[in-house]
Structure 1
Amino acid sequence: METEKFRQELDIAVRVVHLACSLCRKVQQSLVSSRYDQSTSKDDDSPVTIADWSVQAMVSWMLSEHFGSQNLSIMAEEDTKTLLKPDSSDLLTTVVKTVNECLDEAPKYGLKSPLKALDVPQVLHAISRCNSNAGTVGRHWILDPVDGTLGFLRLDQYAVALALIDNGQVVIGVLGCPNYSMRKDGMKLAMSNNSLLVNNPSENNKGCVMFTARGSGKAWMQPMIGGDEEFEWLKRTEQIRVSSINDPAQATFCEPVERANSNHSFAAELAHSVGLRKQPLRVYSMVKYAAIAKGDAEIFMKFARVGYKEKIWDHAAGVLLVHEAGGVVTDAGGRQLDFSRGVYLEGLDRGIIACSGADLHNKIVNAIFASWDSSSL
């Protein structure tokens, strides 16, 4: 069982993601109250926030401090190109300030703060060193600092995702969901009142971190802390489990919000063919995986259009979480996802299917084979 083998790595990862979620929450709250433009754009026009760079720098620094920097391999989404532009000096200053304010709070999570504030070169180095290509040999940390940046900017769902790959297999998965309640109806609450959640962090037991280790057969959830609740979250760890619903008519179905990399029309046709009757929940980020692991939803389907390649940081932590909570995740052909081949999920067959149980999963995969040739994908 990998729980024992990677006990230290899992413990540090959970604490670091808690700290990262606290950082994100503060940046998101400042987004509500400040006139300062908290976001810019990358070359592919997707938004990047101060939180993306700040979380990546903080997590990189923390992992380096705990596990040594010499052989540490980290793959993450962001680079420093934008921050190094001449007109980005104010943005860079804000990122460095945000990182240091976050690190000052590290002891609240049982982590060490640096002896003195990190300077600009140290922050840039921490961000840029997350350039691993992972692979089949060795240990590699996989980080998505803010998964669902559009959701973050729109005060909606987003996640901090951290996974560890060991010799090609995901062995640790940690998913921080700052706007997702621990309540049983957390997804319904999240979909109905996001602005309330952002502006009232203590409302409805809001915000959680979910985590697991390969082979444990268990997944857990802790509340995000607030105020002076130092270490109180450690006492409130709950085991989570997928839903027992296997009737398609009662199942809740999640899909991505964005149409650019997901075919909603084919998913709708497929849902109808297998007897799904509820309207799909369109959710930003890996919170879709969290909803299945926690039992708030039963199905997540994503069918990317031709040419789109799935990145491993968008799935690694969530896939392991669902699997260890009792669910099933494969590509659309029923094959296990391969996280050992670098940045992308190479060899992916048509799409990704995550379900709370094998019965639902088999029905969907069979329906895909029956209807694929008539689709436009």
Structure 2
Amino acid sequence: MDSPYKRELEVAIRVVEQAARLSLAVLPNQDKGAIEKVDASSEHESNLGPVTIGDFAIQALLTSSLHAAFPTDSFVGEEDASALRDNAVLRQRVWETLQQTVVPDPEKDTEKDIVLPASADDMCDMIDRCQNAPGAGRVWVFDPIDGTKTFLRREMFAINVALVVDGQQTVAVVACPLLSPEPPTESLSQVTIQNDSIDPSGRGSLLYAVRGHGAYVRPLSDAAGPGVARRLQDCGTTRLLRPVTCDFMQDSALDGVHRAVAARLGVAYPGSDLLGWVPRWAALATGWANTTVWVYKRRDRHAKVWDHAGAMLLFEEVGGRITDVDGKPIDLLAGRKLKGNFGFVAAPADVHGIVLAAVRDVLQEQGRGDLLGEPKEQ
């Protein structure tokens, strides 16, 4: 792909490839060093879910390498190193994981794209370099492992890297190490993908996009090399809606609303069922699905920027439109949490308005008009 961001794309791909190898090295381990994250500053969201040695090691690798390549850029990532600074045993495990699993390829990494932290303390500093909020200029946004709960089960997960420039998604690189790179071959009215839909070939998928230049997928690993990238097809004009959602292990969505929206639209529920948001955006981009809706239980519940920035660009580059429940574009400058938006509605551009109207009608019918803001004119 030839674009003004060729160098950024090349470096991000190389680093994400290494991050994916690291994740696959950790994946089989029964003990992944998982601990529970707690957000004491939030009355409602005290338990933020698990974090593993893979999450910590990948964020350190991403930050160290991309900081070396682009030293004036800023970084935003999900994890912080406080648990590692307090737990010497866990810190050492993460450090050893980096040392043992990240092996730069001298034939490919001629420009030193893969840069490890200099020490365990430097590793913690690199992780904490990501504790910023998105702002103006060039900002790299990371989710080192999206779908940590399913990662612990050895099921679908993803690594998400985005370059956001002045609040606009510009470069996206996503690794889905367990997702097949091949397009759906079954009838589009029947095809679904689930958390345990593991690529039988073991190749996995690398997806990438640059704004205005399309989205692509290729095998993440292949005995004969990475393989040829395939440009993803435009989701096109369609009235055949194929949903992807999270009906499994989710606790943040408003009970019953997603099933009622599916019934209003005349589509099966849940359709494709994936825990992680990044795998959901990948499923939308690759044609396993073309529609998703998410309505939180409370108006003060907000998404995290690292679950969406970059991965959303994959779907937008194949003709998808993404807004919140009020029809507003997603504001990536609102902070680490997307406080300027409530929920998500994503569909092919020509039918997005139909899906959005169904969501708002269902909320009114269920007596939850309190969750609706003023609609943005379509």
Partner of 1:73: 74
Q: How many residues align?
A: 352
Structure 1 residue corresponding to 2:296, chosen from 295, 298, 304: 304
Contact 2:162/2:173 (<8 A) preserved? yes
Taking the TM superposition and a 5 Å limit, the aligned residue runs for 1:355-374 are 355=347, 357-374=348-365
Q: Which secondary structure does the structure 2 equivalent of 1:359 belong to?
A: coil
Q: Equivalents in 2 of 1:17, 1:366: separation in Å?
A: 38
Partner of 1:269: 260
Q: Equivalents in 1 of 2:10, 2:114: separation in Å?
A: 19
Unaligned runs of 5+ in 2: 39-46, 372-378
The reply on whether 1:344 has 2:337 as its aligned counterpart is yes
Partner of 1:120: 120
**Cα 1:109/1:341, change in 2 over 3 Å:** farther
The reply on whether 1:211 has 2:211 as its aligned counterpart is no
Unaligned runs of 5+ in 1: 198-202
Q: Equivalents in 1 of 2:235, 2:204: separation in Å?
A: 20
Partner of 1:255: 245
Q: Equivalents in 1 of 2:185, 2:10: separation in Å?
A: 25
Q: Equivalents in 1 of 2:78, 2:195: separation in Å?
A: 30
Contact 2:11/2:113 (<8 A) preserved? no
Taking the TM superposition and a 5 Å limit, the aligned residue runs for 1:233-244 are 233=226, 235-244=227-236
Q: Equivalents in 2 of 1:93, 1:30: separation in Å?
A: 16
Identical amino acids, percent of aligned pairs: 25
Q: How many Å apart are 1:177 and its aligned residue?
A: 0.5
Partner of 1:140: 139
The reply on whether 1:84 has 2:85 as its aligned counterpart is yes
Taking the TM superposition and a 5 Å limit, the aligned residue runs for 1:136-285 are 137-185=136-184, 191=194, 193-194=196-197, 197=199, 203-204=200-201, 206-216=203-213, 218-225=214-221, 229=224, 232-233=225-226, 235-244=227-236, 246-248=238-240, 251-256=241-246, 257-277=248-268, 279-285=270-276
**Cα 1:268/1:107, change in 2 over 3 Å:** farther
Q: Equivalents in 2 of 1:10, 1:114: separation in Å?
A: 14
Q: Equivalents in 2 of 1:277, 1:155: separation in Å?
A: 27
AA aligned opposite 1:61? S
AA aligned opposite 1:80? A
Q: Which secondary structure does the structure 2 equivalent of 1:5 belong to?
A: coil
296-305 vs 140-149, which moves further: 296-305
Contact 1:243/1:296 (<8 A) preserved? no
Contact 1:164/1:173 (<8 A) preserved? yes
Contact 1:242/1:322 (<8 A) preserved? no
Q: How many Å apart are 1:166 and its aligned residue?
A: 0.7
Q: Which secondary structure does the structure 2 equivalent of 1:271 belong to?
A: helix
Contact 1:3/1:214 (<8 A) preserved? no
Q: How many Å apart are 1:5 and its aligned residue?
A: 2.0
Q: How many Å apart are 1:282 and its aligned residue?
A: 1.8
Q: Equivalents in 1 of 2:106, 2:192: separation in Å?
A: 32
295-304 vs 275-284, which moves further: 275-284
Give the structure-1-normalised TM-score. Answer: 0.86
AA aligned opposite 1:51? G
**Cα 1:3/1:153, change in 2 over 3 Å:** same
Q: How many Å apart are 1:93 and its aligned residue?
A: 0.9
Partner of 1:131: 131
**Cα 1:271/1:72, change in 2 over 3 Å:** same
Q: Which secondary structure does the structure 1 equivalent of 2:319 belong to?
A: coil
AA aligned opposite 2:221? I
Partner of 1:18: 17
Partner of 2:317: 324
Structure 1 residue corresponding to 2:61, chosen from 52, 58, 61: 58
Q: How many Å apart are 1:23 and its aligned residue?
A: 0.7
Q: Which secondary structure does the structure 1 equivalent of 2:140 belong to?
A: strand
**Cα 1:186/1:10, change in 2 over 3 Å:** farther
Contact 1:221/1:239 (<8 A) preserved? yes
